[in-house]
Amino acid sequence: MFCVELSQHAQRFLNKLDAHIKLRIEERLKRLGENPVPSDVKFICRADGDKVFRYRIGDYRALYKVKETDKIVLIAKIDKRPRVYGRLDL
């Protein structure tokens, strides 16, 4: 079982969303704790030795790292598709 954590950037973005969209995204992100690499994610790159994945949630994308040694899934960035890939500060 992995622990799902949100970065400050991701948390701020979620707080700005409507309640029903926020709830939908949070429910999908919680599932990553049980299975950090489900079949519908896409591997993006490696950053600091950790694998970075993209998770599609409707019109939104979540970029996250899987820290295998610490058993943590760190949600680095959440945004709409055109903006999420802008600057990858992971």
69 token code pair: 């040694």
Strand pairing category for 50-57 and 60-67: antiparallel
Gap between the Cα atoms of 38 and 83, Å rounded: 23
Q: What is the pLDDT of residue 84?
A: 76
Given a cut of 90, whether residue 45 has pLDDT beyond it is: no
Q: What is the pLDDT of residue 48?
A: 83
Q: Which long-range contacts (CB under 8 A, 24 or more apart) does 34-40 make?
A: 34/1, 34/2, 36/2, 36/66, 36/73, 37/66
pLDDT tens digits for range 28-41:
999 999 999 998 89
Mean pLDDT calculated for residue range 42-57: 89
What CATH superfamily classification does 3-84 receive? RelE-like (3.30.2310.20)
Gap between the Cα atoms of 22 and 25, Å rounded: 5
If pLDDT is split at 50, 70 and 90, which confidence band does 46 have? confident
